[in-house]
Amino acid sequence: MQNHTNTFYYKQNRLQQLRGFCYATQFESISKAAKFLGVTHAAVSLQIKSLEDDLKVQLFERHGPRIKLTNDGRLLYVLAIEHIEGINTLHETFYKRRAEQKEFELRIASNSTGISFILPRVLKVYLGEFKDCDVVIHYAEHTQAIEKILSNEVDVALLPRRGHVAFPASVRYIQVYQYPPALITPKDHPLAGKPHLTVEEISSFDLAFPAENFRVLPNLYDLFSRDQLKNRLRIRFVDWETTRKYIEAGIVISISSDVIIDDTDSLVGTPLPHLFPSVDYGYIVRCDRNIPQHVEDLIETARHVGR
C-alpha cells in the first residue's frame, strides 16, 4: 500500500521524476543521485519507476548497483537535462532578469516641436522620478499621432491645438501649455525686441514659414498679402529644429510661438500678441478608457515643470 501511494505521488510530479532520472544518469548510480538530492535510495527508484511506467519504456539497464541508459533513456536525457538545469538556476535567473527588466514602458507620439523643445524638460524630471520606466518616442504630426493613439500604438500624444485641424471626438485633449506668438530672429537683428511690430516691418525681411498644413498660428498666412509672400517667403519648412539654423545664420526670420526659445538661446522671440493668438499644446488620450497611471504621472509632471 505504501509503495503504491509513493508511485502515485511521483506520477503526478514530472519534475521530481525527471530530476531523479537525470541525476541517476549523471552519477550512473541511484544511490549517489539520492545522496546528492538529499533523499533516500527508495525515493529515487520510485521516481524512475513511475517515469518508466508513464512513458511505457525502460530507461536503464541494471547491472547490480551500476545502471546504464537504454536508447530510450539516452533520448529522454537529451530532452530533459536542459529543463532540469534551467530549474536548478531558476532562482538566480529570475532575480537577474527581474533586476534588468523595466516595470513599464511609456509610449509618446509628438510632432517635431514637442520632441525637440517640450519633452526634454518634462522627461528629465519624469525619468528622474520614475526610474523603472522606459520611454519610446514616436515622431508623428497631427493626423498620424491621432491614428497611433486610436490603434494603441502609443499611450499618449503631445500636440498643438490647430484651429484648422480639429481633434476627433474619439480623443480627449488636455491643455497644459500656452505659448505667446513671437518673431524669431537673431539677437542683433534690427527688429529684435521692437514693440508693436507691423506686418509691413516684418515683410521687409526674407521669411521662413512652416508649410501651411503644419502651421499652428491659424492666421499666419492670412495677414500677409500675396505680393509680400511672393517676394519675401524664401523658405517653407516642416520642423523648427532645422529652420532655427537658417535663422541663426541670418538668412531669414520667422514667426512662431516662443516655445522654441529659452533663456540661454542665441535667438530671441519678440512678442506679437497684437497680430497672432497664443498657441496651446496639450496631451491627447483616448476617450473610451481611463487614463493609465503612468500617463497621468506624465501629465502631472508636465504641469509641474511648465514651459
Chain segment 139-159, per-residue pLDDT in tens: 998 899 999 999 999 999 999
Q: Are 289 and 149 found together in one domain?
A: yes
pLDDT one-digit tens code per residue, 155-208: 999 999 887 678 899 999 999 999 999 999 999 999 999 999 999 999 999 999
Q: Are 185 and 247 found together in one domain?
A: yes
Q: Are 173 and 186 found together in one domain?
A: no
Q: How confident is the model at residue 7 (pLDDT cuts 50, 70, 90)?
A: very low
Q: Are 161 and 21 found together in one domain?
A: no
Q: Are 82 and 119 found together in one domain?
A: no
Q: Are 187 and 256 found together in one domain?
A: yes
Proportion of the chain above pLDDT 70, given as a percent: 93
Instruction: Kindly give the interhelix angle for 2-11 and 41-55, rounded to the nearest 10 degrees.
Output: 60
Q: Answer for the pair 164, 154: CB distance below 8 angstroms, yes or no.
A: no
Taking the alpha carbons of 118, 124, 130, 133 in that order, is the dihedral positive or negative? positive
The range of the structural domain enclosing residue 265 comes to 181-277
Q: How confident is the model at residue 212 (pLDDT cuts 50, 70, 90)?
A: confident
Q: Are 157 and 204 found together in one domain?
A: no
CA 38 to chain centre: 47
Query: CATH number, domain at 219?
Result: 3.40.190.10
Last residue of a domain, one of 96, 128, 159: 96
Last residue of a domain, one of 96, 117, 147: 96
CA 260 to chain centre: 24
Q: What is the pTM of this model?
A: 0.63
Split into its structural domains, the chain has a count of 3
Q: Answer for the pair 122, 128: CB distance below 8 angstroms, yes or no.
A: no
Q: Are 55 and 74 found together in one domain?
A: yes
Q: Are 265 and 203 found together in one domain?
A: yes
pLDDT at 104: 74
Q: Are 7 and 82 found together in one domain?
A: yes
Q: Are 259 and 202 found together in one domain?
A: yes
* Location of C-alpha cell 533520448: 75
Q: How confident is the model at residue 99 (pLDDT cuts 50, 70, 90)?
A: low
Last residue of a domain, one of 96, 117, 132: 96
Q: Are 47 and 189 found together in one domain?
A: no
pLDDT at 255: 95
